Structure 1
Amino acid sequence: MVAGGAPPATVQETSLAHLIDPKRTWYNNRRLITLNAWIVLLLITSSTTGYDGSMMNGLQSLPQWESSFHNPSNGKLGLLNAIQNIGALAGYPFAPYVSDGVGRRRAVWFGAAIMCIGAAIQTASQSVGMFIGARFLIGFGNTFAANAAPMLVTELSYPTYRAPLTSLYNSLWYSGAIIAAWTTFGSFRINNTWAWRLPSLLQGLPSIIQVVLVLFAPESPRWLVSKGREAEALKTLAYYHADGNEQDPVVQFEFNEIKAALEFDRTVAANVGWKSLFATPGNRKRMRIIIAIAFFTQWSGNGLLSYYLSKVLNEIGITDSSTQLLINGALQIWSLMAALYASYAIDRLGRRLLVLSSAGLMTLFYMAQAICFSEYAQHGTAAAGHAVVAFIFLFSSAYALTFSPLAIAYTVEILPFNLRAKGLSIFNFVISLALIFNQYVNPIALGALGWKYYLVYVCWLACEFIFLWFFIVETKDRTLEETAALFDGEDAIGQITHKAAQGAREDGSSEKDV
């Protein structure tokens, strides 16, 4: 709760929704079309990560790749997959300082430039060590781009499109996965090392596009205000959100709410520095949810499908490389469709409904996979093996309903500006830890336990559902600043929105408008 509180404010006084012109939509407004085009440039950052997971899945089905690197298996295969996230771990201490210090755009550019170098070395690899080093660089660079890009998306978006666009960020993981899956499916027919070098080369394409264009994109108005560049922030908001009209009531409300929220963080919540992430009850609640979701995104059994699908398919009798690559490609398209639907419906259905539906369905479908896998392992029933494939598709769609669109979107929206970069860095750090464990342990455990390994994930998924039931907070129908303040109590929201409305009136908006 906030000492002193804010003066009582009516809903009409503090609401942004009623100020937004319903006729101003992304498809009939030139400035919004331009803004969303810049946002698409930022969204493709996630494609790089998705491309990597699917590419490594596909490469394991390529005899040309296996012969080039002497048929890696178990621990060595785990290291080849995990090294990208080890590289990411090396960048996490520095990423928030780059994002907050030089700005979101430059941080994306810096990360993309490093990934271009990594992709070039990976394509030219002549040894396992060279391939591992290249993947380390790709992970290191991705840390900076992936820290800044989703924040810039959520901080730039027009209010009515903020949640769907931010949700699209992680959903587009599958776009990269689809390109990689079908690239490896096509390159399978190349009878030399270009069967794996071509997919490696294409991994750098999104980063090349960003290096060329991202510095021309608009900077975050929140970051500009935090650096004292308020005139630039107001001009950016007005240009993209109101056709250049700085006195537009939506722009004035947004601008003053940003200033009020930053002032609240500095003076009341004291949200400054790493220690503040855990210093208050509200921040501890945020971090408990963020850390849990980060673990859940990788410890939900999806790691087996993202990096070791070929091994899983081998266990159920599907050993033909062409068939494995075809299943991998179809699975990515299926998952993308589910993730895009969830991104579209996020403000209609709400966060809690999507999260709990996803967790419940994942538990059910993973249990079904375990049962069918057991039947195949013990009796060799071909129908049971085919059923495993069907439940893999159903599980993947359930996963995509929440953890693809919501993991990043929910994290950035519940964090206040001064903690957003650091909190997102913690989120990505935890994901990398979880991924390193999964990528290294999964092939060993699957080889040792077979279908019984699935039972571990069934129990874990049930625990996830219980946690999410008790701790996920609904955040729909709030502005970015209101959502971030939600964890500090209703008084915090009242104080910020009251100051926003009051500031908008003082800046020239009429009492009727605000």
Structure 2
Amino acid sequence: MDPLKIAHAEEKALDWPREAEVLARDPQQLEEAYRGGKSALRQVLQSPFVIVCAMAAAAGGFSFGFDQGVISIILVEPQFLAQFPLVDAAVSPSASFYKGLLTAMLEFGAFLGALQSGFVSDKFSRRRTLFNGVVWFVAGSVLQTTAFSYAQLVVGRLIGGVGIGTLAAVAPLYISELAPPNIRGTLLVMESFMIVLGVVVAYYVSFATRNMASDWSFRLPFLVQITPALVLAVLFFFLPYSPRWLVSKGRDAEALATLCRLRRLPRDSPFVLAELIAIKAESAVQYRAEAVRHPNVAGKPGLANELALEALRWKDMFSGAGIFKRTHIGLGLGFFQQFIGINALIYYGPSLFEAVGLDFSLQLTMSGVMNICQLVGVAPVFYLLDRVGRRPLVIYGGVCVCLSHAIIAALIGVYGLAWQRHEAAAWVCVAFIFVYMIAFGATWSPVPWALPAEIFPSTFRAKGTALATCSIWLNNFIIGLITPSLIGQVHGAGAFIFFAVFSAVGTVWCYAFVPETRGKSLEDMDKIFGDDSAVRDAAMREACMVDVLAEVRCLVSREGGTTCADGDRPNGGAARASDADSTTDKSLGKDEAKTDQVVVTTSDA
């Protein structure tokens, strides 16, 4: 079978409602139906099913934040140090290394989980992949809760991290594919908010159990983190497959039924039909692009071909100057987001507050307030993204966090050996830690997650955002590993000096390379990066949409007992097919291959 056909011979063709033909013959009416659906916010919010889907996916974000935040107090609890003396500086000369390794293994596991999640979610569905993430997470949490040896605790953090990385990578994808266009951004904001909320809740759960006399002071928080994951596991029995994934597998009838269920609209609703047509066209674009770039493996059965295609997809992100520039920005944002110190403060907050002279009780109290400051900073973030823009946020945010680190480091250097006589200086340090958290939450927290999806053309977007996510996790792992050693340098100022330097370098790098994407068209992105990737994608999408509409007209005509006109056949019109091929073939590089017009069908027409 032609690899360009999104086809499964065993699937029955969708019985399109007659109303679909009206939309297929009038592109303007199709667009109006799609935009009309976007304005129906009240109707959508009346669907509890959509909200439940989003809450279930956002629970993955809460689990992610909880597992990150739970370790902060636990690392300094006497009960924990007695059970795991390798991380106790009073007992082990290598405590900094073992503490860093324990903390960082969660992030390394998350890197592995994010790396494989794209391939697994494409092959087995987003729904099943999220469930697999829950299984990994629960298994890791159980190992951490029952650990009596350092080795088991590290393995538990690693396994739990695989689940966290899977949930963090797939949950936003699942939300975006289930949610209607008009509330998609809001639901994705909810997931980002849930991550930070998870950090805060985890901290205060650990804070509440810290005075338990037994080792349940640290085991109970490890156990509690399973709760949102178990809720998520139960909700999976009520969650649908993503309509976009169903279309990619040729299961159009199921996709239409799922959209009707999600939108609470009948199958002949113009909005539902317009959304399904748009999904089919986008799916066709992905298939066509891969078939043109990699004709030897795209669309061919067998695990070996699927793995080879997956490797080539990653390779594509470093081929071509324009795509490489985009990849460089995605990787760089992930790198600097971590190397300006956010997770060092989350993981090692009490230790850093010790460096500025606070006693143990105040270390714990101020660490909790610090996490709340990040929550405050995140709250207005999407208002700022739309009003201020992405580039100014990371530049001015970089200046702010750099100054915060530099001032704290300078005060520690001057007063660090005599905090008792300089309490005011200590509280200035605390204040600038809070300034840092608010500034980071409002600037560097959202942009490295949001901007990569805006700079990549659609056929590169999935892997581009995946690379950016992997960069965040891998650099998070490095920071978790090295921070304990940095804290002990220069009387406690070493970590702040290190992060101040990287904040300054990151700000200069953003000024030199990061573009503004607010209000920019696809053509504007091409001009910025010196290529025509987005324009080629747009031309391919237009050709695919023409073919999808032809397929709909033809299928409706056949169901009505009439014969398709030549122009209504999915492959009809030699001129159209020729034009679409030439548009694509001109610029896809040495792998270019002449192909027939894309056919988006569930069976041969």
Q: Give the shorter-chain TM-score range.
A: 0.7 to 0.9
Contact 1:153 1:165 in 2 (8 A): yes
Indicate the larger mover: 353-362 or 430-439: 353-362
Tell me how far 1:495 sits from its aligned partner.
Answer: 5.3
Tell me how far 1:138 sits from its aligned partner.
Answer: 0.4
Distance in 2 separating the partners of 1:16 and 1:378 = 69
For residue 6 of structure 1, what is the aligned residue in structure 2? none
For residue 249 of structure 2, what is the aligned residue in structure 1? 227
Q: 1:257 aligns with which of 278, 289, 304?
A: 278
Q: 1:63 aligns with which of 70, 75, 78?
A: 78
Distance in 1 separating the partners of 2:32 and 2:371 = 38
Contact 1:188 1:195 in 2 (8 A): yes
Distance in 2 separating the partners of 1:505 and 1:345 = 42
Identity over aligned pairs, percent: 27
Distance 1:262 1:479, change over 3 A: farther
For residue 428 of structure 2, what is the aligned residue in structure 1? 387
- Find out whether 1:336 has 2:351 as its counterpart: no
TM-score if structure 2 supplies the norm length? 0.73
Indicate the larger mover: 196-205 or 471-480: 471-480
Distance 1:229 1:353, change over 3 A: farther
Distance 1:420 1:119, change over 3 A: farther
Distance in 2 separating the partners of 1:354 and 1:247 = 41
Contact 1:376 1:382 in 2 (8 A): no
For residue 195 of structure 2, what is the aligned residue in structure 1? 173
The aligned amino acid for 2:164 is: N
- Find out whether 1:297 has 2:337 as its counterpart: yes
For residue 92 of structure 2, what is the aligned residue in structure 1? none
Contact 2:34 2:274 in 1 (8 A): no
Distance in 2 separating the partners of 1:228 and 1:131 = 44
The aligned amino acid for 1:454 is: F
Q: Specify the SS of the correspondent of 1:367.
A: helix
For residue 349 of structure 2, what is the aligned residue in structure 1? 309
Indicate the larger mover: 258-267 or 218-227: 258-267
Indicate the larger mover: 110-119 or 91-100: 91-100
The aligned amino acid for 1:24 is: A
Q: 1:489 aligns with which of 496, 519, 534?
A: 534
- Find out whether 1:50 has 2:65 as its counterpart: yes
Distance 1:48 1:342, change over 3 A: same
Indicate the larger mover: 373-382 or 428-437: 373-382
Contact 2:356 2:426 in 1 (8 A): yes
Q: Specify the SS of the correspondent of 1:94.
A: helix
Indicate the larger mover: 266-275 or 382-391: 266-275
Distance in 2 separating the partners of 1:15 and 1:24 = 15
Q: 1:469 aligns with which of 511, 514, 519?
A: 511
Q: 2:41 aligns with which of 25, 49, 52?
A: 25
Distance 1:489 1:423, change over 3 A: closer
Tell me how far 1:192 sits from its aligned partner.
Answer: 0.9
Distance 1:282 1:507, change over 3 A: farther
Indicate the larger mover: 215-224 or 416-425: 416-425
Q: Specify the SS of the correspondent of 1:44.
A: helix
Distance 1:331 1:244, change over 3 A: farther
Contact 2:458 2:534 in 1 (8 A): no
* Cα offsets for 1:13-48 (capped at 9, x unmatched): 9977982357622587322x4313211211121222
Q: Specify the SS of the correspondent of 1:289.
A: helix
Distance 1:489 1:226, change over 3 A: same
Q: 1:154 aligns with which of 160, 176, 180?
A: 176
Contact 1:108 1:146 in 2 (8 A): no
Contact 1:163 1:409 in 2 (8 A): no
* Cα offsets for 1:454-474 (capped at 9, x unmatched): 233222212222332343344
Query: RCO higher in 1 or 2 (8 Å CA, sep ≥ 6)?
Result: 1
Return 5+ residue gaps in structure 1 as ranges. 1-10, 509-514
Distance in 2 separating the partners of 1:413 and 1:227 = 26
Task: Determine which structure has more spread, i.e. the larger CA radius of gyration.
Answer: 2
Aligned residues between the structures: 495
The aligned amino acid for 1:38 is: C
For residue 416 of structure 2, what is the aligned residue in structure 1? 377
Q: 2:270 aligns with which of 219, 243, 248?
A: 248
Distance 1:67 1:17, change over 3 A: farther
Contact 1:109 1:215 in 2 (8 A): no
For residue 306 of structure 2, what is the aligned residue in structure 1? none
Distance in 1 separating the partners of 2:175 and 2:455 = 15
* Cα offsets for 1:434-468 (capped at 9, x unmatched): 12221121111221233144233222212222332
The aligned amino acid for 2:193 is: S
Contact 1:415 1:484 in 2 (8 A): no
Q: Specify the SS of the correspondent of 1:61.
A: coil
Distance in 1 separating the partners of 2:381 and 2:29 = 32
Tell me how far 1:292 sits from its aligned partner.
Answer: 1.2
For residue 53 of structure 2, what is the aligned residue in structure 1? 38
Indicate the larger mover: 17-26 or 201-210: 17-26
Q: 2:484 aligns with which of 443, 448, 452?
A: 443
Indicate the larger mover: 418-427 or 384-393: 418-427
Distance 1:27 1:198, change over 3 A: farther
- Find out whether 1:274 has 2:314 as its counterpart: yes
For residue 396 of structure 1, what is the aligned residue in structure 2? 437
RMSD between superposed Cα atoms in Å: 3.4
Distance in 1 separating the partners of 2:161 and 2:536 = 41
Distance 1:444 1:252, change over 3 A: same
The aligned amino acid for 1:58 is: I
Q: Specify the SS of the correspondent of 1:46.
A: helix
Distance 1:456 1:93, change over 3 A: closer
